[in-house]
Amino acid sequence: MIKIEGISKEFKEGLRAKKVMAVEDLSLDVHKGEVFGFLGPNGAGKSTTIKLLLNLIRPTSGRILINGMNVSDKEVRRLIDERS
Ligand SMILES: Nc1ncnc2c1ncn2[C@@H]1O[C@H](COP(=O)(O)OP(=O)(O)OP(=O)(O)O)[C@@H](O)[C@H]1O
Ligand SMILES: [Mg+2]
């Protein structure tokens, strides 16, 4: 149902565009009906991963599929955001 394939997200911070690797090469699968524990210490990249999953931000690399469709797909937007 949710498939994350090797995603990384790098932020460029501040005037000097200092690079911050928020998520590095993360892969995971969550199947329908599964209870998935998404845990990690502060700064591990949990919130960034959820933002990527919601298509609020774009990954630097890798891809995220919902029911086999990319999260940026219009059909996925329709499924998870009733405003669009
Ligand atoms: N917009 C941003 N610009 C620059 N760096 C960021 C940005 N968002 C997150 N980061 C950095 O990316 C890393 C991961 O942050 P993230 O907020 O995803 O972690 P988290 O697992 O949700 O942490 P917490 O448990 O504290 O909520 C941290 O080093 C954070 O400082
Ligand atoms: Mg967080």
pTM, entire model: 0.93
Residue 83 has pLDDT above 70, yes or no: no
The Cα–Cα gap between 54 and 8 comes to 15
The fold for domain 2-33+40-80 equals Rossmann fold (3.40.50)
Domain boundaries, the chain: 2-33+40-80
The Cα–Cα gap between 3 and 1 comes to 6
pLDDT, tens digit (0-9, with 9 covering 90-100), for 34-59: 999 999 999 999 999 999 999 999 99
For a mutational test of ligand 1's pocket, the pick from 8, 15, 47, i.e. the residue with the most ligand atoms closer than 8 A to its C-beta, is 47
3-state class of 48 per DSSP? helix
Residue 6 has pLDDT above 80, yes or no: yes
Give the torsion sign (CA, 12, 18, 22, 27). Answer: positive
Q: Is the CB of 47 under 6 A from ligand 1?
A: yes
- pLDDT greater at residue 78 or residue 11: 11
How many Cβ atoms from other residues are within 10 Å of residue 50's Cβ? 11
pLDDT, tens digit (0-9, with 9 covering 90-100), for 13-32: 999 999 999 999 999 999 99
